[in-house]
Each structure stands twice: as C-alpha cells, then as structure tokens.
Chains A and B, each alone.
Chain A
C-alpha cells in the first residue's frame, strides 16, 4: 500500500461548509448522511455565505451547530412557515427547511401544505423515518401498518390510528410545486441519487423557480430496534413498498 501521501490525491473529505462539531445522532442514523450531502451541495453551489438552515424540533434540532451557515431553530412543525417569512424578507438567501416526518407531516401539516401550495421559493427536506425519533419512538403519521412503536405497542392498526400518509403524493397534486421527489439512503446508488435530487432542489431555488420538496426515507435504528445494516435492508424490503421512490413532480 502506498503510504506516502504525496503520491495520493484526496478524493473525499469533509465538506467545507460543515463545522467540526460532531453530530448528536445515534450510531447509523441516516440523518447524518443527509448532513454530509447538504454540506457537499452547499459547497458545490458555493452558497454557504447566503444559505440559512431552519433547524426543526426533532433529532435534527442541533442542525444549527453543524453548518457554517446562518440558521434558525424553530417551533415544532413551523419550519416551512418560518422559511416563508425569511425567504420573503430576504429573497437573496437560500433557505433550507429541514424537517422530520412528525414535524412536517403531523404537527406542521397546515404550514407544510400551504407553503407548498403558495409555491414559496424554498427547499424542503422531509426526513421520513416513520417515528418520532427524538422523543423515544412514538407513532408518526408515516408509521407503517403493523409497525410497533411506543404508542402502538401491538402494531399500528388502521381502524384505530389511520393509514400511513403519503404526504409527498398529496403535495404533488398541488399546482405550484416545481419539484417533488422521494429518495432513500439504503445503499450507495440511492445516496448518489438523493444527492442529485437535493442539488436540484437547491438549484431550483437559486434559479428562482419555486418550491422543491425532497422526501427522504431514512432509518432510525434506535427506535426500530434494528442494527443499522438491518434497518437499511428493512427500507428496501418493506418501507419502499409503502413509499415508492422517484420523482412525483418535475416542472423545473
């Protein structure tokens, strides 16, 4: 093995728009992969100086510590509404609303739908891990039928709790959104696809095109009680059957 670093070129390193702070996520949590993808995208588009990240309530609440960008930590569910206000006040900013599924598709339902319906020129990343991660794994609106959570100990039952909500499909039938897609992170191909989608969602905003939503199927190994590798496999075998991957709207 060539040990002389002079004969080697660095082909992968920490994105410059990320701070040195370590993440607070659990081992194997795919929220962390998204942090890296977002940092890389901000680097590639050279927009760190004018990017503002909305940190939601949820396991990503500390997102304001991880990027060398402006950030605001907002009340649970209100990220798309705060993003709207900030973007309208200073349209030169690139505003990312980063939201969990409990945040985006439950407590924030009204704010999420109406920001999309108004076609706000913002980028939304919606992390669908089928649980309320931060509070210990309660049922989310995205929880699968039969999935055991702390609030559905014998599995989610549709008669009692309703069905898993395909929120991106709902947003996709609105007239305004320019880009709505569902991505995953369970292998390198999917990670590269998700990276492309996130870059497109940022580029749409930079070019003034309007509202972009990237839903990402992510794992929560801790609350799913699975090893990280098994959790990834579960996304392939089970989760993508309920939440199919791919673009739902692309008017870019």
Chain B
C-alpha cells in the first residue's frame, strides 16, 4: 500500500543522483529529460513504492524534493 509521495522541482534538480542512491524503496531514477540548465533530471520511476521516509529529500543538495505522507486516521 502506497504511503508516500515525492514532488521533484525539475528546474532545481541538478541530476547528481544522490537521492536515487538514498531511496531505500528504489522509487527514483533518471528521467532522461533535460531541464533548462541541461541536467538529466530525476523522476519517480516507481511512485507506488514510496513510503514517505524523506531520505531522498534529506540527501538532496539542491532542496528540490518535497515529501508527502498519507494521513493516518487518529
């Protein structure tokens, strides 16, 4: 069951790949698409596997990632 979602700001992403390595769920991969700065930006290849752990966002040097988590009923 998917529990998380990441939103990547394509124009901030410099394609360094640190988030791809940090994600324990292997959600992220290179998209093959270039942004306006010419970087091969990262996208969510397997969004359904995201658990919202924030590891990718903690690792991103360009603060290009926001993370959401499913609301849990109180």
Contacts and interface: CB of A to CB of B under 8 A. Distances in A.
Interface string A196-236: 00000000000000000000000001000001110010000
A13 B58 CA distance: 10
Interface size class of B (residues with CB under 8 A): 20 to 34
Contacts of A7: 70-71
Contact of B58 (A9, A28, A192, A221): A192
18 contacts: A8-B71, A9-B68, A10-B67, A12-B57, A12-B58, A12-B66, A22-B62, A27-B61, A28-B14, A32-B60, A36-B60, A36-B61, A36-B63, A188-B55, A188-B58, A192-B58, A227-B17, A229-B18
Interface size class of A (residues with CB under 8 A): 35 or more
A33 B68 contact: no
A191 B18 CA distance: 13
Interface of A: 1-2, 5, 7-15, 18, 22-23, 25-33, 35-36, 187-188, 191-192, 221, 227-229, 232
Nearest to B68: A8
A13 B71 CA distance: 16
A221 B16 CA distance: 10
Contacts of B57: 12
